[in-house]
Amino acid sequence: MSARTKDFVSFYTKPGQFFMYSADNDDGMKWHYYNLDTTSSFGIEFIEWTPYGGSEIYTPGKPLGIDSDGLII
């Protein structure tokens, strides 16, 4: 996400994964999905959400945000 991102929303997909949509400051909406990655080292559990596939969806005009269905407004 850039400094002028208008809005972002995440949607649960399955245990250990979610999708993140962000209304960018230009003419597009970016999306990525994240997977849960846990690692134990020296008795400490590290929890990290690792980004995987994603892209940008072209939308004309400058987005103002994202509604609850993931549509750009």
Q: Contact 33/13 with Cβ under 8 angstroms?
A: yes
Confidence of residue 67 (pLDDT cuts 50, 70, 90): low
Domain boundaries, the chain: 7-58
Give 22's contacts (C-beta < 8 A, 6+ positions apart): 1, 5, 7, 8, 29, 30, 31, 66
Confidence of residue 34 (pLDDT cuts 50, 70, 90): very high
